[in-house]
């Protein structure tokens, strides 16, 4: 369901795909994140990390009265402190969405779906 905003000049509709792409780009720029994975990873295949054109598969957006609720599904690199990476990821996604799209974000939920060990 797209986000609708009314301004003095008219109405703005922001699609969920646009929000998911912005959130996904921000997630992949965070230190410690190897990539995003599909929210339906059992159906889509666990080993496939999402490419830039498929970020919407790894982000779930829900509109609520208090603001937008975002769920992101990530794979973290081995050897990093998961709690620190997740906290930084939440801050960055919330900041990017609130400043770029000028909308309230009520929560950013991070689901760590795996840890990737580089050999």
Average pLDDT, stretch 43-50? 58
Closest listed residue to residue 2, CA positions, set 18, 19, 14: 14
Residue 44 has pLDDT above 60, yes or no: no
Distance CA 32, CA 104 (A): 26
| pLDDT for residue 17 | 86
Closest listed residue to residue 28, CA positions, set 79, 92, 84: 92
| pLDDT for residue 58 | 81
Which secondary-structure segment (H or E) carries 115? Answer: strand 105-116
- Domains annotated for the chain, with CATH where assigned, are 16-116 (3.30.70.1350)
| pLDDT for residue 67 | 85
- What is the pTM assigned to this prediction? 0.82
Distances (CA, A) of 3 to 6, 37, 56, 61: 10, 24, 15, 10
Distance CA 96, CA 23 (A): 8
Question: Which residues are CB-neighbours of 32 under 8 A, at least 6 positions away?
Answer: 76, 77, 80, 81, 82, 84, 85, 88
């Amino acid at each position: 369901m797209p986000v609708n905003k009314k301004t003095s000049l008219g109405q703005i509709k922001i699609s969920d795909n646009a929000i998911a792409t912005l959130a996904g780009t921000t997630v992949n720029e965070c230190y410690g994140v190897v990539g995003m994975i599909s929210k339906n990873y059992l159906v889509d295949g666990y080993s496939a990390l999402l490419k830039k054109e498929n970020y919407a598969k790894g982000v779930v957006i829900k509109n609520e009265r208090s603001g937008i609720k975002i769920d992101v599904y990530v794979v973290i690199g081995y050897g990093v402190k998961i709690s620190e990476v997740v906290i930084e990821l939440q801050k960055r996604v919330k900041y990017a969405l609130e400043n770029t799209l000028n909308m309230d974000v009520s929560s950013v939920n991070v689901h760590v779906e795996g840890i990737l060990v580089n050999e």
